[in-house]
Structure 1
């Protein structure tokens, strides 16, 4: 079978990725070193089924050396639309941030990235080269599909093999300074860099101390972990420049739990990988943050965390928000944000297996909540039932008043029951 190369998607030290002319759902990577093809043959045998990873389908040995992979046609490397230019002026202001996704879309992409990395780690694999050329996102602003390409460096975490130490700006210090083997914790350090850059638009070690150096020196020190974290509570020598856009959005876009993970990663865990939180923890916290983002009531387009009193962009007061809290039993425990998610006033909200049982590998909604003028319409899948306190199966939750709690039980075949508390809450 013959393939004709289409437009270039991305390139690096190991090869170049192209679209396939006439077959927009496929891509080809041509390797710079023919001997790397044997490594790709090993990758083909790894357990990648069901993951949003562009795994090798067919090896190419004639007309070049490389492999064919499946990749949706409407995807772009994350570097292009979401990260400010590293050369020349940086277009970072509120309008640019909103036009390139805003908080909600950026959080969704970060959470999807964390989900992919955590799923690889759960299968005993390290990704190794999580650079912005290898993360593909949907062109459609209404979608947040995220894929990893360039699986050349995937390796077993128990018997790692590698010939790559890192990508400039996206490297774990222990791999750069000590040439340590790839690991899930080095993957997670790079994942945390992506999260921070997506949300705050700067490398987490790129503050005023880095700005005072020439670019190459600053980049080298960042990759070696020899600059303080911009949010280090005990060392402010490298904080973000005052009155800069990243400094302004830092406390707005990083939730409390995300800030804690970043501090653990880039302070205690910067030079000691054992102090870092893992990818599964990042996945949990990112999805929880995403679940608690709301849209500005004025229609300015800004998205932000529901606990803020007003929109940080236009100042419109935050209205009362419908919140669902999940419990393992029917009792009177305090309602906490940790187990809660927002119900949209404008579109359907899905109650997912991850909300109920922590299952991130199951992507079909268990219940869908649809806002109506007189309450919430509830559509459960075939094996699920929503039951009120009297034992009656219900299809709708009546319109709520502030701080009134409506409790239901969710029964699903072969799954533990869960109890949902639905309420209308004012911002804290």
Structure 2
């Protein structure tokens, strides 16, 4: 392609753009330019044959008519001359996700991971937002095709977790024409590398898992010590999944280079990655979905606490003596305050002559931090029983704030169904958006329905049959 700097080009809508400097060097598909207003980026493709050009233009015309998840930067205007291409909104104050995947050589791992790039909590929340965007895309049976750090942008500010997806001309409906976009080798699913399959949602799920693994662990799931010390050819083989997963039991390819699994993964995240990189390496349908990763990252982000000594985020996981040590500086921290969710339901007790009894089990425990704690509905709802009550899986349900006096207060700005039962009392107080903030204390309990089944120790207690098979979730302040 010839240099077009200084040229004025006209879009199919009649809008003119003065091309200024190139954004990056010329790539395989074409070249990207800035334009004089500073509001847009112009991507122009290399000329192909008549068939290729027609297909590319047809795809762009299709893409510009589509709706997208809110963090995708969509085409706004199209070009046919001098080259086929499109204009999109310019993303400002964001950098490539690659900046968070490759450790700095000028800083220690702790300085780079925690201070330079925001630490574990930010990375988990970035992972949640990235995965949720792809989950929403997949719900419309569209695949992104080339998930990589180059195409995901994150805010420059290490205290902000905003993201956006660029180069969405890679998107296509599985079974259609992918435009020969197969992906980036480091993130490509094995069946793409071997050319057995075209990109689809399952290959997207694989690529997303690699990105999230690198975001948290700072290493590739198949690049362990035996590959790190090997040849470039071995590294390429590892990208293709030809070596064992680094966290597979008794793996000869374990890693001492990346961050330890217990420092950056919850048990749930570890299981989800294992599913993709061991079971899902060959069995595509076994791979963890984008939505599963999104919710697991969100849950994990609510299990971290901030070290009082070094200020770094780490999981609130006690040792055998129930003490909370920071893995970054080894200092002991005070036990945080938790909100523990529990489920109540009927079960059949076979040992008691099949008598139906009521049971309560803990589901999840989340750390309440010294700030606004927005509790979302995916923790409140039993997703199989009452999912129809919620429009989105991560809508805010209620809020718990910690005040300067050290006390926690309950607010219900969305006017959700919410009741407070103070410790030692039977009365359930309805909390609405009209209430001032209500103090919540140790062992106080929250209910999310105007009906509930009570846990009774009375073996002759009457059973309300209309609630059989239902699960009622509540939460305890601990």
- Structure 2 distance, partners of 1:367, 1:325, is 15
User: Which residue number corresponds to residue 164 of structure 1?
Assistant: 181
User: Which residue number corresponds to residue 370 of structure 1?
Assistant: 401
User: Which residue number corresponds to residue 344 of structure 1?
Assistant: 369
- Structure 1 distance, partners of 2:58, 2:108, is 43
Cα displacement (A) at 1:382: 4.7
User: Which residue number corresponds to residue 244 of structure 2?
Assistant: 228
Does residue 306 (structure 1) correspond to residue 333 (structure 2)? The answer is: no
> Which of 89, 93, 118 is the matching residue for 1:74?
93
Larger Rg computed on CA atoms: 2
Does residue 422 (structure 1) correspond to residue 476 (structure 2)? The answer is: yes
- Structure 2 distance, partners of 1:5, 1:417, is 61
- Structure 1 distance, partners of 2:86, 2:281, is 36
Q: 1:208–1:238: 8 Å Cα contact kept in structure 2? A: yes
Q: 1:27–1:68: 8 Å Cα contact kept in structure 2? A: yes
- Structure 2 distance, partners of 1:152, 1:313, is 41
Cα displacement (A) at 1:367: 1.9
Instruction: Report SS of the residue matched to 1:125.
Output: coil
- Structure 2 distance, partners of 1:362, 1:143, is 22
Count the aligned residue pairs: 403
User: Which residue number corresponds to residue 38 of structure 2?
Assistant: 23
Does residue 315 (structure 1) correspond to residue 335 (structure 2)? The answer is: no
User: Which residue number corresponds to residue 340 of structure 2?
Assistant: 325
Does residue 55 (structure 1) correspond to residue 66 (structure 2)? The answer is: no
User: Which residue number corresponds to residue 253 of structure 1?
Assistant: 264
Q: 1:365–1:381: 8 Å Cα contact kept in structure 2? A: no
User: Which residue number corresponds to residue 65 of structure 2?
Assistant: 45
User: Which residue number corresponds to residue 165 of structure 2?
Assistant: 148
- Structure 2 distance, partners of 1:354, 1:16, is 43
Deviations 1:349-401 (A, max 9, x none): 11223333466847653322210226322222253353223242345454534
Deviations 1:122-171 (A, max 9, x none): 11111110011100111122211111111112111354634122212111
Could you tell me which runs of 5 or more consecutive residues in structure 1 were left unpaired when the two chains were aligned: none
Instruction: Report SS of the residue matched to 2:396.
Output: coil
> Which of 383, 390, 407 is the matching residue for 2:445?
407
Out of 66-75 and 179-188, give the one that drifted further: 66-75
Deviations 1:196-240 (A, max 9, x none): 11111111111122123222x133202321111111114x22111
CA 1:253 to 1:33, structure 2 compared with 1: closer, same or farther past 3 Å?
farther
> Which of 108, 113, 127 is the matching residue for 1:97?
113
Q: 1:176–1:223: 8 Å Cα contact kept in structure 2? A: no
Cα displacement (A) at 1:92: 5.5
Cα displacement (A) at 1:71: 4.6
User: Which residue number corresponds to residue 237 of structure 1?
Assistant: 252
With normalisation by structure 1, the TM-score equals: 0.84
- Structure 1 distance, partners of 2:197, 2:36, is 40
| Higher RCO structure (Cα 8 Å, ≥6 apart) | 1
Q: 2:408–2:439: 8 Å Cα contact kept in structure 1? A: yes
Q: 2:118–2:159: 8 Å Cα contact kept in structure 1? A: no
Could you tell me which runs of 5 or more consecutive residues in structure 2 were left unpaired when the two chains were aligned: 1-14, 319-323, 346-357, 384-389, 422-426, 451-469
The 5 Å alignment of 1:141-220 reads 141-157=158-174, 159=176, 161-215=178-232, 217-220=233-236
Q: 2:342–2:361: 8 Å Cα contact kept in structure 1? A: no
- Structure 2 distance, partners of 1:397, 1:56, is 47
Cα displacement (A) at 1:15: 3.3
Q: 2:341–2:363: 8 Å Cα contact kept in structure 1? A: no
Does residue 334 (structure 1) correspond to residue 361 (structure 2)? The answer is: yes
- Structure 2 distance, partners of 1:273, 1:90, is 39
- Structure 1 distance, partners of 2:314, 2:401, is 21
With normalisation by structure 2, the TM-score equals: 0.76
